[in-house]
Structure 1
Amino acid sequence: MQRRGSLMAEPVDERVLVLAPGRDGALTCRILGEAGIGCRAVASVPAFNEEFARGAGAAIIAEEALDQESAPQIAALLKEQPAWSDFPIILVVRESGAGTRLQEFSPLGNVSLFTRPMNLGALTTAIGTALRARRRQYEVRNLLAERDSAARRKDEFLAMLAHELRNPLAPVRTTLHVLKLRHPGDRDTQTAVGVAERSVKHLARLIDDLLDVSRVTLGKVGLRCEHMDAADVVRLATEAMGARFAEKHVALDIEVQSARLPVSGDAVRLEQAIANVLDNALKFTPPGGKVRVRAEADRGEAKVTVSDTGAGIAPEDLPHVFDLFVQADRSLDRTVGGLGVGLTIVKGLVELHGGRIAVTSDGLGAGTTAVLHLPLAEPPPSQIETDNEVEAGGRLRVLVVDDNHDGADSLADFLSLTGCETKTAYDGVEALEVFSGFRPEAVLLDIGLPKLNGFEVAEKIRTSPGGEGVTIIAVTGYGRDEDRVRGRSVGFDHHLVKPIDLTAIGRLITSAVRSPRTE
């Protein structure tokens, strides 16, 4: 593998390696030199391999320089070439042995045979052609290197952008949760907070997608599955779309059966799928029209039907509604595009959940019906929920460290309401000072801190007296795998990405403190 790396690292090298015994190599190099072609003669396979690792544009190999041991060595060397490389070799053989040698080397790809006696002009021309082809390979190599460099820069930029976007989201989510705890009986406050929390949740998911653009564009969307009620998902999707329906003066009729529709899936993605279907129905239904949504249980499935009184779909377009970038014109005057990409995404999301979707229409002007089917799941055991996540039994001391003052203060405020004793710090040096005097049982620690970053703080806490038993939880905008691995190596117990799930943070702290850290 070292040879491959060396080959890729060298600048464009157009010299020709000549592997031949005795004076043949030097003579060949002299002839090529007269034609303006750089050359390097070697007499052994180890020397050839060493020069090849430094870089070369082509090679001339005399068959007498190869034996049963050396030929496989060159074969193995060529097999290690990177994807962009197809190193050209001219093999000089006796006419009687041409067939055998070609059979030995042809599987390696770019091998040409010259038989003795050679036409020196033809050999020089062949080398020139091989070098021109090698230059194109170098161009491909450089383009691939530029692409990889651009991809690395993109990943670094997206990681930093996601970090910067997550930071302001964290105090928003925390403050909303504090409002819920402080005003449990205020219905208007609870409703408003619920709407805001869902918006934060959607924005957080978009930021997650931002970190892996290829995953989204290739349809490789990860699901965060949990038990849920499909009826609730339908209600949320229609609620989110309600204002747009009212603005266009399209009636939205919702009929959700009273019984629960338990499914296992990603609530955000399922809501996205249903909202996308609703969006298409709204788009192609004129003012004064109507869209009806019905959710029900049907033969072991949750069935969601969205029907509209809009433009409908022509019979010839109906088989293609799920095709990517294919638009079926649903308007009577042929001025409005079709369902297009939207239903392609819906189909992928529904199928990821083990479901299916079907779209029907009686033709133009007859409206459209989309039916989503999701497998019903066994409901989880009933759980007693409480807003006071940290269980009674003593006030836990928690240190919150974040250079975003709003983020640190709001998280500390929330933890205080749940029964913790908290202190805050806003940079790495202050965190160590507060830790020394406060002696917390848990530390919620940002990574991107001034003066000392979170990795350095965690490492110093672990090596300080009493620090080995402290629960250290990263609360950060950095969510890449390498960030998690590095955090674990310096002593973090858990890695949470902003905005954190506040319904779980208290239980996480409690369970972690009750289970001492073991190496």
Structure 2
Amino acid sequence: MSDTHHQCEAFASDARYRALVMASCAILWEASADGEFTAEQPGWTAYTGQRFDQLSGWGWLDAIHPDDRERTAALWREALAGRTMYQVEHRVRGRDGCYRYLNGRAMPIMNADGVLVEWIGAHADIDERKRAEERLRLLDAMSQATRNADDPISVMAVTTRMLGQYLDVTRCPYADVEPDNDRFTIRHDWTAEGASSTVGVYSLELFGKRATADMHDGKTFCITNVDRELGESDGAAMFNAIACKAIICCPLVKDGRLVAMMAVHQDRPRNWTDREVALVEETAERSWAHIERIRATEALRDADRRKTEFLAILAHELRNPLAPIRSGLQLLRETHDKPATAARVRDMMERQVNQMVDLVNDLLDVARINRGNFELKLARVALADVVAIAVETTMPLIESSGHTLNIDLPAHETLLNVDATRLAQVIGNVLGNAAKYTPAGGHIDIVARQEGQSVRISVTDNGIGIPDDAAHAIFDMFAQVGTSTERAQGGLGIGLSLARRLMELHGGTIELAPRPGAIGSTFDIRLPLADVVVKDTPPAAMDGAGVPRRAFRVLVVDDNEDAADMLATLMEMNGHTTRVANDGAQALLIAKEFFPEVAFLDIGMPGMDGYQLSEALGRMPQLAGLVRIALTGWGDENARARSRDAGFDHHLLKPCTLVAVEALLQEIAQRQRATA
């Protein structure tokens, strides 16, 4: 066979090889026998952006990630020396400046005489596979590092550090959201060297509507450039205050409530990749699962500890009355001829037996409620009668301690649809605790006030109070506040738990009211009224200065239908004309036809909130002069400032009374008369 034929076959074979490589790989390249790039490399240039003068010789190494460059060069030299296949996995910088993992291979090409004439190489993109492997290794390393952690803080500390270092971010915080679903507490954050910590308590609203909405909806909040994507009043100011220019924040929503968040912060704009977002989400999910397992284990241990303590307390509480009863029986045998002594012993034994009966009854009540076969005997009763029953039951304890009891009830008859015995039991339980935990000669107040369609009964004492670290647990079963002798006043630790369950069955609540800086405790008991009572607030035609009252056209907007209807009804009784809407869209439609002069707007409405509705109403030319009043449970300066920014003229705290509403309306009327 001729040399020409051999050359043609070699050429055809080489052409087929090149065509195959070019069709199946991202980058094809050629190098001289000594391993240098001596000709143009179109594929390499298209990918990396390197010109020939930059990639020629060994210049192509400049496109390799600095951490991979030395290893790449060593493997290339080793292949050159041995004339063996070259294979490497490394990160290569693309034309966009981003590094991606590529798999590089090259084969030595020999001529017919076995002389090395060149190298044919190709690079294929393996970035997705490598990133997935890295992500799995990181997640596995996190699991291994936190496997033996027995407290949530340790899990947070390890996880945020490993995630923050891997992504090379400025900060990685973890936060728990408070039950009010607005405030959140950053328990721990990992920070890069020189970065400040953000540990503390924040209002979610300060971070803007978009962040708030995404968190409550369970969506990952992702911002690549705070200054470009967010307005100053929509979170940018707050993010800038903590030196955060880009963020990924993952929420944890359970049973429709936002309970926790994990985030990564960058102090400069950053284009997050889908892989990075997915990694933060998976890290957060795994961390939460681990933390919840730890907390569940802690809860089981705590329940077991409480049960053990309860059995010890139960034995103690039953032994206390049994001891004098046994002594009394002995006395009765020895003093059968002394009637006065026998009568005194019988009275004592009756008191002790009644104490035991009360303990057993409480236990039986708890058991029946837990089994679901507890029934209330509801009837229409007067609040004053129920309070009288509770006071009568606890008065001996109050008097024996030398306390002063003050009772302040509404002047009108306030009717409730309740089980009088059980409600008296709840009030009596709180009164009894106040008497037990207040030093001799203390003061106890019972104050009841009607608030809309409900009544609030407050029991306040000036006793030893409840520590902040115990306030959240006092309604738990078998809870005991402290173990010092000054608190050792008896009880099984089930009274408040039983009270809470009884209030829930009534459709009411019992809460420990916050009293910053004050001594003692206040418990608030809230119940719905059987009837709406407005006897002591009749409509009046004149204000306090003898000036005729001004009647307004009033729009009331609240997603709580009962609250909106009640406020509107009360204002109509004072001569105002009202319309009610339960969402923003409905309010705008009514406003176009009703032309309100005053609008009471609930802030916390789904969809269009009160702030957005206020701004929309302010843009309607036919409503010039409309007085907008915010209804909200937040009264701090930040909340008031936000109301002002949204165009509100007044900021009214919930729950608002008719007296406060009417006083504000007449104040508005006086100002309008003064400027007319």
Bin for the TM-score computed over the shorter chain: 0.3 to 0.5
TM-score, length basis structure 1: 0.35
TM-score, length basis structure 2: 0.28
| Larger RCO of the pair (alpha carbons < 8 Å, separation 6+) | 1
Larger Rg: 2
